[in-house]
Chains A and B, each alone.
Chain A
């Protein structure tokens, strides 16, 4: 059953703590993306990766980091430098990063304690 998965569904972060959000896809897609969505707002691009071992900053990369060591995985770390991390985080993938359809995961909701 092909698709894109994210875990956990909910995540709580304490002040000063780094947390990592998981994103896995078995669609054999080259490109993967991370978006942030705040209530009532659209999606904003954090990072994207066109291929393994390569990634680029999006519009709001400050306070976040990513890695792309495997084609299937694109984890996002929310660092303590991100002062307002409470949001809904969405991971997506596409065959290539040239405008093809993006397939989204179910999302992770991050809350700060």
Chain B
């Protein structure tokens, strides 16, 4: 199961764009890149998922280069309420066997947004 590497913490100010980069050098062909957000004392919440190039939704954008060994979560114009831990996961889709249920949530990136 491909693991990921991301910065432990980042700081930003309100209104700025934040980019969090994640490395996943051992990503497999059927793996998708998925990001979750977690506020203190709450369960994680799905933000965005992608396979290649660029994916955008109402919350964030996800950029994935051609080699797929890294990805970047982009949060436009952050606010104080975006202060949270962000997890980058590599998720095998449609597979079976020992990878079932095996989502690896590392320590994530603690994003702190300042006024």
Contacts and interface: CB of A to CB of B under 8 A. Distances in A.
A97 B44 CA distance: 17
Interface of B: 32, 34, 41-46, 49, 87, 91-96, 100-108
Nearest to A100: B93
Given A99-B93, A107-B43, A109-B41, A56 B100 contact: yes
Contacts of A16: none
Contacts of B103: 43, 45, 102
8 contacts: A31-B101, A44-B105, A45-B103, A98-B95, A98-B96, A98-B100, A99-B32, A103-B46
Interface size bracket, A side: 20 to 34
Contacts of A90: 43-44
Which of B46, B87, B92 gathers most chain A CB within 10 Å? B46
A42 B44 CA distance: 10
Which DSSP category, helix, strand, loop or mixed, fits chain B's interface? loop
Interface in A4-61: 31, 33, 35, 40-45, 48, 50, 56, 58
Nearest to B40: A88
B87 A42 contact: yes
Contacts of A105: 43
Q: Considering residues A42, A97, A99, A105, which has the most beta carbons from chain B within 10 angstroms of its beta carbon?
A: A99
B46 A42 contact: no
A92 interface: yes
Contacts of B92: 98-99
Contacts of A82: none
A42 B108 CA distance: 7
Given A98-B93, A98-B96, A45 B43 contact: no
A40 B105 CA distance: 12
Given A98-B93, A99-B91, A99-B93, A45 B42 contact: no
Contacts of B96: 98
B43 A40 contact: no
A63 interface: no
Given A90-B43, A99-B94, A99-B95, A42 B101 contact: no
Given A42-B106, A45-B103, A48-B100, A106 B43 contact: yes
